[in-house]
Amino acid sequence: MNLKLHALSLAFEDKRLLSNVDLTITQGDFVVIRGPSGSGKSSLLRLLNRLAEPASGQITIDDTPVSEVEVTGFRRRVGYVQQTPVMVSGTVFDNLTLPFGYASANTDAPSIEALKDLLDGYNLSDVDLDEDAEKLSVGQKQRVALIRTFLTRPEVILCDEPTSALDPDSREIVEAQLRRINREDRTTIILVTHLAFEAQDVVARHFSLGEGRLEEAA
Is residue 186's pLDDT more than 60? yes
What residues contact 159, with CB distance under 8 A and at least 6 apart?
A: 81, 146, 178, 189, 190, 191, 192, 193
Task: Considering only residues 132 and 99, tell me which one the structure prediction assigns the higher pLDDT.
Answer: 132
Q: 192-206: per-residue pLDDT in tens? A: 998 888 878 899 999
Q: What percent of the residues of the chain are helix, what percent strand, and what percent coil, each to the nearest 5? A: 35, 30, 40
Q: 69-94: per-residue pLDDT in tens? A: 999 889 889 999 998 888 999 999 99
| Contact status, residue 76 vs residue 26, Cβ threshold 8 Å | no
CB neighbours of residue 139 within 10 Å: 19
d(CA 136, CA 69): 36
